[in-house]
Amino acid sequence: MTESSPLVLVGWDFRRTPIAVRERLAFTPDRIGEALARITRQGVLSESVIVSTCNRSEIYGVGVAADVEDAVTEFVAGFHQLEKPAIVASRYGLSGADAVRHLFRVSAGLESLVLGEDQILVQVREALRIASAAGATRSVLHRLFQQACASGKRVRTETGVGTRATSIPGVAMELARKVYEDIDKRSFLIVGAGATAAIFYDLLIGRGARSIDVVNRSFERAEALASRGGTARRWEELSARLPQADVVVFATASPTPILGAAQVAAALSARRGKPMLFLDLGVPRNVEAAVSNLDGAFLYAVDDLKEIAARNLADREKDVPRAESILEEEIADFLSWYGSLAVVPTLASLRRRFETVRAREFDDALAKLDRVAPEDREKIRLLAQSMVRTLLRRPTSALKDEPDPARRVERAEAIRHVFGLDEEE
């Protein structure tokens, strides 16, 4: 990393921080802009991005304060009205290449509670969008987060880390897609309106399902869930709606089975041989085990789905080394760009460029002058060198005397771009 712009990360996550503390450290979307403005105004960071999810709250930045990790911690405690000692113990801080590597691993899903989860990449991308809209990012963090997101996408494209579901609703969705490839043309019946049902419902909507009935004992909760694209049905309609469904998903907290083999047999008879897929996500079971003995009925309960999820997780873990190799390539690329923006390397490159031009023009000019005495040649050479030093004085002071590390990086990047310092001569 460069001495001109210390990249830092201060965070709290599910591995080190109890959920009771994480909940109090979470930054809601409507307050992130305020937090970013305040941390800049207080002189803690000159660039900043906040990644806040249910499993982590992380602040990335370009440091300004002397003890930036402690300063960020103090800011977070004050913002959330917490005592600083209460959050220091579970805090982690990284800087330079370590902070870069952590963000890239987060974006790729390698630091997630569920290995390879897709949602975190969306959340990192949204964190950058919010920070950019708030004017909190400049050259360094904008490029860092853009490349981290691109790397996360590459890992999911080139490896199996992000494929093969490992959550129960996700595995259930994969099974439904294997049985019925044309999800958008199939009818679904969801029984229940709690968290698990809502997750499966969202997966269905994401896959383009158009016919979704939701049955729940509380019709109001069924309406709330179905408002995103389905139809709420009253509990009394369950038996009547059953024959209409290709896929039936149960996700209730009922202590006893809700659906019996006799009801399913009647539904299959009404369907005239068309099969039905039953996904029982309830614990304890919502569907009688005897249903699996009926011709045309395919039943998967939570234990079945857990076995599939475990196999999928093992398959994901096999691809972790490949994912890490991809990330190291991407990290090296970012660090190479970042390192080129340091004051000393930039000024050295600029000086070499000017000296190359001076030498070339000096030689070309003297080649056209046949009667220049040796002492005059030396005077012309010294004059050309003096001009180079004069021309370098302004960009040198603009870089060395700039107190804001983020602005110093921006100026270095501008100089390298304007003078083509990264191009081959």
Catalytic residues, which ones? 54
Q: How far apart are CA 395 and CA 415, in angstroms?
A: 8
Q: How far apart are CA 410 and CA 271, in angstroms?
A: 67
Burial of 386 (0-12, 13-18, 19+ CB in 10 A): exposed
276-280 and 247-250 strand pairing: parallel
- Could you give the count of Cα atoms lying within 13 Å of 399 in the half-sphere of its Cβ? 24
| Element containing residue 105 per DSSP (H, E) | helix 96-107
Q: How far apart are CA 139 and CA 144, in angstroms?
A: 8
Structure tokens at 257: 């089975």
Q: How far apart are CA 237 and CA 240, in angstroms?
A: 5
Q: How far apart are CA 413 and CA 425, in angstroms?
A: 18
Name the residue among 409, 419, 412 with its Cα closest to residue 144. 409
Name the residue among 46, 25, 147 with its Cα closest to residue 91. 25
Instruction: Tell me the C-alpha to C-alpha distance, in Å, between residue 341 and each of 5, 49, 103, 393.
Output: 9, 20, 20, 18
Structure tokens at 311: 């196999």
Axis-axis angle for helices 96-107, 320-340 (nearest 10):
140
How is the chain split among helix, strand and coil, in percent rounded to 5? 60, 15, 30
